[in-house]
């Protein structure tokens, strides 16, 4: 068994190695150019996020789709992941993480555009979309037939995403919730926490996308604002160290300067590697996950929802991860003893130490925030897996999938989900390959229609292309 685990871990290290970083970062830069630097439309996109489009086809609001996607992306990666990047790659990793967010905005726009453009209806009129339907419909011939290689790409994405949902969406999140609760309240049995997670998740996900969306619309803004408020308070307490922190981040990003007596990683290569890896993992741009729920949004044309969806990467990495990075680096400068003692060896410890500097309420904010982040991620990823299972096997498979999903959450809570997490981490990387490939193949169409809708001021124009109905019984 140990040999099998070693092999799985080796595969995981390979698929999330330099080639994957190059693929994702290269795509971010390519789509930035191809979309005419769509990042400059962030103000318009934020405004659209709160607009309603009730007469447009779709199951949930644009804001509901955004918050559901954010529920799956804003999580432990924004908190623990930033600390891990700093300890492994030095303060300079914060800048590289931030840059992956800035350029990743364009990839999120492009992949969402393709997903919404080629979405379909099921036999009950519910919207289905994602990379699998972009593959299936984007290359159909005049007779409506899809070539075998496109069907292969669609099936590969759906399969990898469905498997990934069990780990990144279920096991690892319930495990994180259990660790946080047990460390804060020793003596609470893990099985009881697991049972509570199963009940809380089941009450929401068995109600479908509308139920998930309603919860996320209320939960995500609350938890994000509360966490951001905690960050701002710490930044205020460390105010005299903020400018030195910014200088140190830039200096370490480009010169490889050792920081804090060599207690953290140093070197330009390490800063780039760990900053980019954590940034890409945090915002999921290029993985194809968020476009699945974006396809359910009520929107009159693909460009509107693509703009709304790209704000997810902005909020997740450009704002939340940047705030976390400033908090951690300024805390390390303000309290150099915490690094010199050698007591801080993990990202979670560094983040906990920073928030503990807020008297009375600092630790509770972090604990509650991490529990809510993990819980919301379980909800968001359950929908991703749901749609992929529907594509692969039809609607009859949804209930069995949901049952297995909550069982995996329970197993993660009691500490037997490590192998599931590693396997799903591998498939999480693999799902990016067919997703990026189909968006690249469709990039000419995306660029052309983006010019029409976005740059020629036709965002209010309705796309009159009929949405086909697909039998999913």
* Statement: residue 265 has pLDDT above 60: no
Average confidence score pLDDT of the chain? 83
Q: What are phi and psi of 92, to 5 degrees?
A: -60, -20
Angle between helices 322-334 and 76-89 (to 10 degrees): 50
Are 237 and 61 in contact by the 8 Å Cβ rule? The answer is no
Confidence at residue 1, expressed as pLDDT on a 0 to 100 scale:
55
**In which element (H, E) is residue 45 found?**
helix 42-49
* Statement: residue 171 has pLDDT above 90: no
Q: 231-252: per-residue pLDDT in tens?
A: 888 888 888 989 999 988 888 8
Confidence at residue 150, expressed as pLDDT on a 0 to 100 scale:
95
Q: 62-98: per-residue pLDDT in tens?
A: 777 788 777 777 766 677 777 777 777 788 888 888 8
Q: 142-169: per-residue pLDDT in tens?
A: 788 899 999 999 999 999 999 888 877 8
Confidence at residue 30, expressed as pLDDT on a 0 to 100 scale:
95
Confidence at residue 442, expressed as pLDDT on a 0 to 100 scale:
96
Confidence at residue 348, expressed as pLDDT on a 0 to 100 scale:
64
* Statement: residue 444 has pLDDT above 80: yes
Confidence at residue 76, expressed as pLDDT on a 0 to 100 scale:
65
* Statement: residue 207 has pLDDT above 60: yes
* Statement: residue 344 has pLDDT above 60: no
* Statement: residue 422 has pLDDT above 60: yes
Give the span between the Cα atoms of 39 and 341, in whole angstroms. 42
Are 353 and 338 in contact by the 8 Å Cβ rule? The answer is yes
Q: 93-133: per-residue pLDDT in tens?
A: 888 888 888 999 999 999 999 999 999 988 777 788 999 99
Q: Enumerate residues 6+ apart whose C-beta is below 8 A from 291.
A: 111, 112, 114, 115, 116, 129, 130, 131, 309
Confidence at residue 428, expressed as pLDDT on a 0 to 100 scale:
74
Domains of the chain with bracketed CATH: 10-455 (1.10.4160)
The sign one gets for the Cα dihedral 305, 36, 249, 234 is: negative
* Statement: residue 370 has pLDDT above 90: no
DSSP H stretches of helix in 238-361: 242-255, 268-283, 290-294, 302-313, 322-334, 337-340, 347-355
Q: Which residue in 294, 300, 295 sits closest to 459, CA to CA? A: 300
């Amino acid at each position: 068994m140990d040999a099998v685990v070693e092999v799985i871990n080796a595969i995981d290290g390979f698929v999330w190695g330099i080639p994957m970083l190059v693929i994702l970062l290269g795509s971010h830069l390519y789509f930035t150019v191809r979309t005419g630097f769509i990042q400059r439309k962030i103000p318009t996109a934020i405004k659209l996020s709160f607009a309603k489009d009730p007469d447009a086809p779709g199951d949930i609001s644009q804001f509901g789709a955004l918050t559901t996607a954010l529920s799956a992306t804003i999580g432990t990666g924004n908190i623990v992941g930033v600390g891990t990047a700093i300890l492994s790659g030095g303060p300079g990793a914060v800048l590289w993480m931030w840059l992956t967010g800035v350029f990743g905005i364009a990839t999120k726009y492009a992949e969402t555009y393709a997903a919404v453009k080629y979405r379909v209806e099921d036999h009950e009129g519910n919207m289905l979309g994602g990379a699998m339907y972009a593959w299936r419909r984007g290359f159909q011939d005049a007779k409506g037939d899809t070539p075998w290689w496109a069907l292969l790409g669609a099936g590969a994405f759906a399969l990898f995403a469905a498997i990934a949902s069990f780990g990144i969406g279920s096991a690892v999140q319930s495990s994180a919730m259990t660790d946080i609760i047990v460390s804060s309240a020793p003596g609470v049995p893990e099985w009881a926490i697991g049972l509570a997670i199963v009940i809380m998740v089941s009450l929401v996900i068995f109600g479908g996308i509308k139920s998930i969306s309603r919860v996320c619309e209320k939960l995500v803004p609350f938890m994000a604002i509360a966490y951001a408020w905690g960050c701002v308070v710490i930044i205020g307490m460390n105010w005299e160290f903020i400018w030195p922190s910014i200088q140190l981040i830039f200096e370490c990003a480009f010169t490889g300067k050792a920081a804090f007596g060599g207690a953290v990683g140093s070197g330009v290569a390490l800063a780039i590697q760990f900053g980019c890896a954590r940034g890409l993992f945090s915002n999921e741009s290029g993985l194809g996950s968020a476009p699945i729920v974006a396809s359910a949004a009520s929107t009159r044309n693909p460009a509107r929802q693509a703009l709304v969806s790209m704000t997810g990467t902005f909020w997740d990495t450009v704002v939340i991860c940047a705030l976390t990075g400033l908090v951690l680096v300024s805390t390390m400068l303000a309290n150099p003893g915490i690094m010199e003692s050698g007591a801080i060896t993990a990202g979670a410890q560094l983040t906990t130490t920073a928030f503990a500097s807020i008297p009375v309420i600092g630790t509770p904010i972090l604990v509650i925030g991490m529990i809510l982040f993990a819980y919301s991620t379980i909800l968001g990823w359950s929908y991703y897996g749901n749609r992929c299972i529907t594509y692969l096997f039809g609607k009859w498979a949804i209930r069995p999938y949901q049952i297995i999903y909550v069982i995996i959450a329970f197993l993660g809570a009691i500490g037997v989900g490590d192998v599931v997490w590693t396997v799903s981490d591998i498939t999480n990387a693999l799902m990016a390959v067919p997703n990026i490939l189909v968006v690249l193949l469709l990039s000419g169409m995306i660029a052309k229609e983006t010019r029409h809708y976005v740059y020629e001021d036709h965002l209010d124009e309705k796309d009159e292309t009929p949405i086909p109905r697909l039998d999913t019984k």
